[in-house]
Structure 1
Amino acid sequence: MAKDLLQRVADEARPPAVWGRYGMFENADDVLLDDLVESGAWLDLEIKKQLLALWVNDEDFDNTDSWKEPITGRTQKNVRKFAVMDPVVDLESLRGMKVKLVYDDE
């Protein structure tokens, strides 16, 4: 069975997070990231890099003007907070990284 990257992140985080706890809506990935930061979650380095690369490689990542919007601003801060949590990830190293969005559930 295939598993979405964000569901895998929620399942593998310690403590676990809940993916889609508010149902399907536009900012569900931002809520998941916020949950990971707020709980101080640990995540395997390779999957953590893939998760963070989703934001790093977004065209608005370096656009600090967009950070004035409350959800975007909080998410941009959370990306940086989560990156420095153990295991630490250098965000610059993720530029151009290809992200696998679906995994075979083993």
Structure 2
Amino acid sequence: MAKSLFQRVADEARPPAVLGRYGLYEDFEQVLLDDLVESGAWLDLELKRPFLALWVNEEDFDNPDWADPIIAIDQENVRKFAAMDPVVDLESLRGMRVYHIEPYVR
């Protein structure tokens, strides 16, 4: 079975991250992004671009609810992770189609 984009990101980041470390935590992708930023992880552009495109192409990305603390953290983390080496221009990801499957998180 093919690994999900999220599992590949977690495995191939340097240092690696742990996907689903909270078990059935509903927002595993947000925890993964936060872990990548906090650890200063490096990720190959082949994975970094589609991973960030998932956020950039969300319907509410340009008009987030900044009053929601989780959304505010996500918005900040997307920009921080994009600015980390290798740098990704978020605007270049607009309209990028990313096909992914949700991982089974224990």
Q: Distance in 1 between matches of 2:6 and 2:66?
A: 23
State the Cα distance separating 1:100 from its structure 2 match.
Answer: 2.9
TM-score normalised per structure 2: 0.91
| Equivalent position amino acid for 2:29 in 1 | D
Structure 2 regions of 5+ residues with no counterpart? 102-106
| Equivalent position amino acid for 2:72 in 1 | G
Matched, 1:70 2:89: no
Identity %: 72
Which residue matches 2:104? none
1:1-106 maps to which residues of 2 (within 5 A)? 1-64=1-64, 66-102=65-101
Structure 1 regions of 5+ residues with no counterpart? none
Q: Distance in 2 between matches of 1:49 and 1:4?
A: 15
TM-score normalised per structure 1: 0.91
Tell me, what secondary structure is at the counterpart of 2:66?
helix
Tell me, what secondary structure is at the counterpart of 1:75?
helix
Higher strand share: 1
Moved >3 Å (runs of 4+) = none
